[in-house]
C-alpha cells in the first residue's frame, strides 16, 4: 500500500466513513475472509469453490477478492476494514471466531453488507448470519460408523467446544448407538480449525486408543492420511476429500455454499438485501453427502440413504426423543423433537458419551 492510500485509509477509519458508493455500471465488489487456506481441501476450499461459482454466475457484473489464513481476532478486523476501504460492497466472513470483528466493522461501515458464517450475532442491520445443519449429515455418517466399527471405538477430532461442534458429536453418537448399542465415542479437542500436524497427532492418538473409525470437525486432510496408514475408516469433512476414496474415505459431508452466495449477492445487486439468519440442511442442498463407498456394505448404504432421505423430506429429525442428557436427566420425551433454540445453544452431551465438554 503506498503512502497516499495509507493516509486515505487512516482518514476513513478516523472518521468512521463507509466506502463511497460505486457507479451503477461498476461491478459489485464481493470479499471473502477465510480462516484457512484455499488448498485445505476442506472448509475453506469449499467456501472458495462457492466464491468461484459466484464469479461464474455473474460474470463481469461482479468482482470477488479473498484473504486466506486470517486469524480470528484483531487481524480479522483489520482485513475486513481494508476490504471495505478497497471498495467491497458485500463481505462474507467464513468462520465462527470472526463474530466480534464482523459486527465491529459493520458498525463503522453501515453501507456495506456483511454475512457471517456459523455465528449468531446480528448487532447491526447490515449483518446477516448463515450456517448449515451439519448435524443432519453427521447423523448419517454416525449411522454408517456404528455399523462399520469392529472395535466399537469411534474417534472424534473436535475443534472448539461451541454448539455447532457439540451438536455434531451428539448427532453422530446418537445414530451410531441406535445401530450399535456397544459403540463408544472418544473425543479429542484440538482447539484449532486447521492445523494438519495437530490434527494428525489427534488421529494417531485415537487410533492408538483402539478407534477403527475416525470422524473429524477440523478442516485438513491430515486425519485422512493417518487413517489410510492405519487402515481405519474415515469420512470426508466439509468437502468430499475424494482423493482418499474408496478407502479410508467411505462417505463425506460436503458444504455447498454456492446457492446461498449467489442468492445474497443478487439481493445486494437488486437492493433487496435484508438482515436474516439462515440455517439450511440436506433438503435445500447446503449440506450434501458424498458418494457412499463400496467398502460400506450394501445394506448399510441403503439404510444410510433412507435415513438421509427421511431427513430431507422432513419425516424424521435427527434429534427425536426419547433422549436424555449425559447425566441421565430427561431431555426429549418419546417422539419429541428438539427445538432450534436448544440446538443453536447446545452445550451438553447426550447420555452415553463419556468425558466432559471443556470450558
| Res. 20: pLDDT tops 80 | no
| Res. 5: pLDDT tops 70 | no
Q: If you search the block for the grid coordinates 462457492, which residue do you land on?
A: 50
- Residue (of 240, 241, 192, 197) closest to 217 by Cα position: 192
305-336 tens-digit pLDDT: 999 999 999 999 999 999 999 999 999 999 99
Q: How many beta carbons lie within 10 A of that of residue 4, not counting itself?
A: 8
55-92 tens-digit pLDDT: 999 999 999 999 999 999 899 999 999 999 999 999 99
Average pLDDT value over all residues in the chain: 93
Confidence of residue 25 (pLDDT cuts 50, 70, 90): confident
| Res. 12: pLDDT tops 60 | no
Which strand ranges, in their side-by-side order, compose the sheet holding 62-67?
62-67, 28-33, 90-93, 113-117, 127-132, 277-280
What average pLDDT score do residues 287-304 get?
98
pLDDT at residue 359, rounded to an integer: 86
| Res. 48: pLDDT tops 90 | yes
Q: If you search the block for the grid coordinates 466513513, which residue do you land on?
A: 17
What lies within 8 Å, CB to CB, of 142 at 6+ separation is 171, 172, 173, 174, 175, 176, 215
Model confidence pTM above 0.75: yes
Least trusted range by pLDDT, from 39-43, 139-143, 300-304, 309-313: 39-43
Confidence of residue 24 (pLDDT cuts 50, 70, 90): low
Amino acid at each position: 500500500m503506498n503512502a497516499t492510500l495509507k493516509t486515505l485509509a487512516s482518514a476513513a477509519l478516523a472518521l468512521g466513513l463507509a466506502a463511497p458508493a460505486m457507479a451503477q455500471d461498476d461491478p459489485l465488489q464481493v470479499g471473502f475472509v477465510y480462516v484457512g487456506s484455499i488448498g485445505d481441501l476442506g472448509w475453506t476450499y469449499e467456501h472458495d469453490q462457492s466464491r468461484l461459482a459466484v464469479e461464474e454466475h455473474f460474470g463481469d457484473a461482479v468482482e470477488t477478492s479473498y484473504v486466506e489464513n486470517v486469524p480470528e481476532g484483531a487481524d480479522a478486523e483489520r482485513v475486513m476494514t481494508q476490504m471495505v476501504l478497497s471498495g467491497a460492497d458485500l463481505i462474507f466472513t467464513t468462520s465462527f471466531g470472526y463474530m466480534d470483528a464482523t459486527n465491529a466493522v459493520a458498525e463503522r461501515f453501515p453501507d456495506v453488507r456483511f454475512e457471517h458464517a456459523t455465528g449468531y450475532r446480528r448487532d447491526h442491520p447490515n449483518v446477516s448470519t448463515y450456517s448449515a445443519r451439519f448435524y443432519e449429515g453427521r447423523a448419517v455418517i454416525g449411522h454408517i460408523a456404528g455399523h462399520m466399527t469392529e472395535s466399537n471405538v469411534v474417534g472424534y477430532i473436535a475443534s472448539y467446544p461451541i454448539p455447532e461442534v457439540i451438536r455434531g458429536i451428539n448427532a453422530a453418537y446418537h445414530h451410531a448407538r441406535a445401530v450399535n448399542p456397544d459403540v463408544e465415542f472418544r473425543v479429542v479437542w484440538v482447539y484449532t480449525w486447521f492445523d494438519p500436524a495437530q490434527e494428525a497427532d489427534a488421529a494417531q492418538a485415537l487410533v492408538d486408543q483402539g478407534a477403527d473409525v475416525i470422524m473429524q470437525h477440523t478442516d485438513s486432510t491430515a486425519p485422512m492420511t493417518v487413517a489410510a496408514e492405519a487402515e481405519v475408516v474415515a469420512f470426508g469433512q466439509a468437502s468430499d476429500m475424494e482423493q482418499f476414496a474408496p478407502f479410508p474415505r467411505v462417505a463425506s459431508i460436503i458444504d455447498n455454499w454456492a446457492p446461498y452466495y449467489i442468492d445474497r449477492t443478487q439481493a445486494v445487486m437488486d437492493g433487496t438485501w435484508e438482515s436474516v439468519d439462515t440455517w439450511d440442511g440436506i433438503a435445500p442442498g447446503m449440506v450434501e453427502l458424498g458418494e457412499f463407498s463400496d467398502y460400506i456394505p450394501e445394506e448399510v448404504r441403503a439404510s444410510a440413504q433412507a435415513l438421509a432421505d427421511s431427513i430431507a423430506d422432513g419425516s424424521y429429525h435427527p434429534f427425536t426423543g426419547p433422549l436424555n442428557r449425559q447425566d441421565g436427566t430427561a431431555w426429549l420425551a418419546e417422539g419429541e423433537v428438539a427445538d432450534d433454540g436448544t440446538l443453536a445453544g447446545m452445550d451438553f452431551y447426550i447420555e452415553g458419551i463419556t468425558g466432559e465438554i471443556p470450558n
